[in-house]
A and B are shown apart, each in its own frame.
Chain A
């Protein structure tokens, strides 16, 4: 397989994998299709010590992301109660998908519009976002980068951003880290003086202006914006033959 034949979804998976670089022996817990593919890719290549779930109550060693025709290789029993132990211990890096996110990484997937007593659109609820974001590294995945997701202000703060963590001081900021936001268009980080979102790279074929247009607040854009890392031949082989052979990732982000 030649490098020329990669798809946008493959670049997204590589960008997700890169968020786990350097994490070592922690629970990599990417939630969602492309995040799960990317997490498996990181472990199958440069972060072999990561642990990953089967989406239920086990940590498994398999490279396959979604189906395990030859059975699961169990490393540990991990029911929800153990999951909270891991969250609070800090040995975890989660990837969640925001419905809204602001420039400091405050994230909402609980409800939109109306008021707290009667939202216009009820979504998931807080789920584990308050605890995740204050206890261990968090990254975000946005499958459809648009100005309704990247907003000036989120309606409900589920996951806390850098401004809120800083305002509370060390009790909140000591374990808080929003590492990346990976989208279908680009990679964003918070490597600015006050931890505002900064455009880190654009995926091949995406113009910087396209990202700026699709972001509902002023994104920090460096003079030079590199192109996101391309998949290697070995990464493409893993993606197409082992991790996600039915290409579920391509359904989430079509070319």
Chain B
């Protein structure tokens, strides 16, 4: 029976520079931040990051880890515009592929189902085609609504991932996991869109399988071990993003993080205090002592 438990640094050791990495959560909610911090501490670079973006995207951009960003938005929720992401965009530091939020879902779904694209109306007429010149349309082989020629739709390409990182509330050591908040977001799709061997899930608590549904119900068991290669126990691992019902967003910390985008000095100070640390345990001790 496979015990998939590992540390954040074990996960990073399985990643390579240049990889395409999907990051779960949504905005500043249930982000696998302990894994993101481990990437920031590592030598990894030139990553393509695929995310419904929040501080994961901002941190990785500010730390110079991102070559390309695939996104529909990047937001800190209570702070609508992510300042580090804006800085990266406005300096031309990262290349981008920008989609509608729903197109993004279809891209992950296509990858998960191992088809090259999924058809959709979404994107027609918009600047999605200017933002991603490689985007193509596909003509339906079936008659149109009026019996005429088939409709020409957007062929949303599969967003295939080399690796996926997500954070859940509970997991067992084999990779089954439960979310306890109001929304599963797209974490399960992220895992299914990623190559076998690159699917990593951190969780607030690793519990015996029999206790997985103890704090929720059977519908909270959204991720199964078929979808996971490595499990990391990461208490407060989504900090500073929210991970309800375990904890809310740390708004004060997030404000400090956002403020660090103002000057190079402010960023250097933030980075020294919160990122250039030996490990996640040190970070969590410092957070607890705030």
Binding site for B on A (CB under 8 A): 56-58, 77, 79-81, 84, 87-88, 110-111, 114, 116-131, 133-135, 156-160, 164-165, 167-168, 170-172, 174-175
Contact = CB atoms under 8 A, between A and B. Distances in A.
Nearest to B128: A130
Contact of B73 (A125, A159, A172): A125
A161 B89 CA distance: 26
Contacts of A165: 125
Given A79-B185, A80-B185, A130 B89 contact: no
Interface of B: 26, 71-75, 80-81, 85-86, 89-92, 95-96, 98-103, 105, 120-128, 130-131, 144-146, 151-153, 182-186
Nearest to A84: B102
Contacts of B182: 56-58, 77, 79
Contacts of A124: 73, 75, 80-81
A127 B53 CA distance: 11
Contacts of A164: 125-126
B99 A168 contact: no
B92 A160 contact: no
A207 B144 CA distance: 47
Contacts of B130: 116, 156
A130 B126 contact: yes
Nearest to A109: B73
A170 B126 contact: no
5 contacts: A122-B81, A124-B81, A131-B120, A133-B126, A156-B130
Nearest to B127: A157
Shortest Cβ-Cβ A-B pairs, 10 listed:
A118-B92, A131-B122, A57-B182, A130-B126, A160-B125, A125-B73, A122-B89, A164-B125, A79-B183, A130-B100
A126 B98 contact: yes
Given A79-B184, A125-B73, A126-B73, A135 B122 contact: yes
A121 B105 contact: no
Contacts of A158: 126-127
Given A57-B182, A134-B124, A134-B125, A120 B90 contact: yes
A128 B127 contact: no
A122 B105 contact: no
A86 to B, nearest CB: 11
Interface centre among A122, A125, A165 (most CB of B within 10 A): A125
Contacts of B152: 171
A74 B128 CA distance: 36
A126 to B, nearest CB: 5
A168 B102 CA distance: 20
B92 A125 contact: no
A216 to B, nearest CB: 20
Nearest to A118: B92
B90 A114 contact: yes
Contacts of A171: 121, 124, 144, 151-153
